[in-house]
Amino acid sequence: MMRSKTAAAPFALWMTLFTVIPLGIVLWFAFTDEQGQFTLSNLSSIGEYAGTFGLSIFLGAIATVICLVLAFPLAFTISRAKGRKQQTMVMIIMLPMWMNFLLRTYAWMSLLENNGFINQFLRVIGVLADGQSVSLINTNGAIVLGMVYNFLPFMVLPLYSVMVKIDNSVIEAAQDLGSNVFQVFGRVVLPLSLPGMLSGITMVFVPAVSTFVITKLLGGSKTLMIGDAIETMFIGQGANYHVGATLSLVLMVLILVCMAITGMVDKEGEGDAA
Amino acid sequence: MQTTKEIIKLKDITVSSDGEQVLSGLDLNISDGEFVTLLGPSGCGKTTTLRIIGGFVTPDSGSVFFDGKDMAKLPPYKRPVNTIFQRYALFPHLNVQDNVAFGMRVQGKKKTEIRETVDRMLKLVNLVGFNERRIDTLSGGQQQRVAIARALANNPRVLLLDEPLAALDLKLRKDMQAELKNIQKSLGITFIYVTHDQEEALSMSDTVVVMDAGRIQQIGTPQDIYNEPKNAFVADFIGESNILDGIMHEDYLVEFFGRKFPCLDTGFDKDEPVDVVIRPEDIDIVPANQGHLTGTVTAVTFKGVHFETIVDFKGFKWMIQTTDYYPVDSIIGIVLNPEDIHIMKKSEYSDMFGDYSSYSDEFDELGNPEVDLTEDTAAEVEE
């Protein structure tokens, strides 16, 4: 016991310094005014951000669902591939993650712009007339695209790591006992992949909801997500740490609620399958 | 006892994987209600044969008939067979009763019927009261029983068993052998059983199919296979055998070691070269001056029931199983009666087996279950 406590000490120190204390500071800012007096006025001013919160959760949820739908068959295919092929496929999934996040998002900008690659291409092949363009950038669609592109590996990898442990003979046993493809999926693969699904959803949804870079670069100035709202509270002229801290806090609570709901749905699903 | 109605027929099955021939021109007929064992060393194609019947491997050519109907196009889930997999393949997210109920749920059976069948199956495999237990809390033997119950709950016409006892220890394996045989008898369904353990094959089966190198070497009852092996491979793989070169001069007369012996075999050409099989337990030891042949004992191993005595006859080492102890270097004589001598046609396996000069090495290889297990797994992955 002593040994494991000693070993955990650096971690405990780290957590205290960089998680517990900062969280305390956020709390302190959220419930005080400029004079350092306790107040709930920050919290009551959050109401005007309801739309922003709603949009963030909406776009984050759509991106998460798209990631899940794309990642599930992909991860399953990778998990069934053989040795070297499997390693190569995992590499290819991880490859974009080794490139800078900003760079990747800028790349999408140059693809989606009104004079970007896609519009130019459409003009060349004659789908669009000269001077015409399809508005791709600065839309909610572009934001979701950016989220899916950037966060897809975070869905694929946890799913893959769970699926790779599913023994092929278990799938064969399900077929042997009379399950068609859909029954094998619903009664064996899906329930056995649930832990990976849950951590994948968390790893995509949380950064997607709170992103501000993707919104800024691909969503233009008109779409404001909660990440952008928080950013403006800490940087520039209208900065207000107290409102910013409150927004962060509310976002955290909302995400926790969303995760709790996901967890409950998953548990029910498990009960169904069993 | 047995109905002779044919339930499964494999015709001219050929399978290759990565350019290697796994099965070549395999023909096999299986009767309804029979306990058939596919026996052979790892890589002989026995598991592939089973997987073809189960629908998990599609042969390159040839056909599979069930009740006279071609099954080639049927996917595994539509076949009236169920499989017990080598490592059980239980569903880790389901408890015992949900594992057993899996097949019936998929088929949409009624809840009351499912509950009744689950209880009946758990009773059959001696797991009453284990309904709610999680799979990972069960021992290997118990998991094996759940796998049996799960497969039988689907009421299959044919049960396929892929080395089901390979992972169990010896004592448990013996018990499960008897139990499986009882289940098969009481339910009257066809069992197709794959094993590399010849003793298991002999003690459980109605029919043994000995396989090697993707071909069937011999099909017969356990007694036939043991007493009348068709070639040197079968003679060596099933039990212990001394295999010598001989010449069949005429019916009932064979010559080996420069001496003519009367035997019971007929139907060979005049002076045809043959393989002569003499089982170690059939040899009678007599004082040196009274024997047909005289040899020197080179090694003795006590095996409990008998002594395994290696005897050198003119440079060719025989194994003799005897209840009497003859020390190393003693000179003994042996007597061979006509019924002790079995004659086989020459085959590709001649001269490969039957000399006990390198006895200890061979024993190590055969006696190590780990070797077979890992090789079989590798073969499975390749498929």
The neighbouring-strand residues paired with B64 are: B10
Contact B82 A169 (CB under 8 A): no
Helical H segments across chain B, by residue range: 46-54, 96-106, 111-124, 140-152, 170-187, 198-204, 222-227, 232-237, 359-367, 369-382
Residue A180 touches partner B, C-beta closer than 8 Å: yes
Domain extents in chain B: 6-227, 284-335
From the candidate CATH numbers 2.130.10.10, 3.40.640.10, 3.40.50.620, 3.40.50.300, the one assigned to the domain spanning B6-227: 3.40.50.300
Q: Which fold is adopted by the domain B284-335?
A: OB fold (Dihydrolipoamide Acetyltransferase, E2P) (2.40.50)
CATH 1.10.10.10 fits A49-273, yes or no: no
Tokens, residue B368:
């190590």
> Of A72, A266, A87, A262, whose CA–CA distance to A156 is shortest?
A72
* Alpha carbon B140 to its chain's center: 22
Q: What confidence tens digit (pLDDT) does each residue in B43-70 have?
A: 899 999 999 999 999 999 999 999 888 9
Question: If you search the block for the tokens 């494991």, which residue do you land on?
Answer: A4
Tokens, residue A31:
């419930």
How many other C-beta atoms lie within 10 A of the C-beta of residue B364? 10
Residue B381 in 3-state DSSP? helix
Report chain B residues whose CB lies below 8 A from the CB of A270. Answer: 93
Which pLDDT score, from 0 to 100, does residue A65 have?
96
Spell out the per-residue pLDDT of chain A, length 274, in tens.
556 778 888 999 999 999 999 999 999 999 998 888 888 888 888 888 898 999 999 999 999 999 999 999 999 999 999 889 999 999 999 888 888 888 889 999 999 988 888 988 998 888 888 878 888 888 889 999 999 999 999 999 999 999 999 999 999 999 999 999 999 999 999 999 998 999 999 999 999 998 888 988 898 877 788 888 888 888 888 888 999 999 999 999 988 888 888 878 766 554 444 3
Rounded to a whole number of angstroms, the distance from the CA of B150 to the nearest CA of chain A is: 8
Report chain A residues whose CB lies below 8 A from the CB of B105. Answer: 187
H-run or E-run covering B262: strand B259-262
The nearest alpha carbon in chain A to B155 belongs to A177
The whole-angstrom separation of Cα B153 and Cα B147 is 10
Distant-in-sequence, close-in-space partners of A76: CB < 8 Å, separation ≥ 6: A159, A163, A189, A193
Helical H segments across A164-225, by residue range: 168-176, 181-184, 190-209, 213-218
Is ipTM beyond 0.85?
no
CB B31 within 8 A of CB B6: yes
Contact A173 B95 (CB under 8 A): no
The nearest alpha carbon in chain B to A273 belongs to B94
Is residue B247 exposed (0-12), middle (13-18) or buried (19+ Cβ within 10 Å)? Answer: middle
Report chain A residues whose CB lies below 8 A from the CB of B106. Answer: 174, 177-179, 183, 187
Residue A187 touches partner B, C-beta closer than 8 Å: yes
Residue A182 touches partner B, C-beta closer than 8 Å: no
Residue B89 touches partner A, C-beta closer than 8 Å: yes
CB < 8 Å from A in window 95-114 of B: 95, 98, 102-103, 105-107
Closest CB to B89 among A169, A183, A191: A169
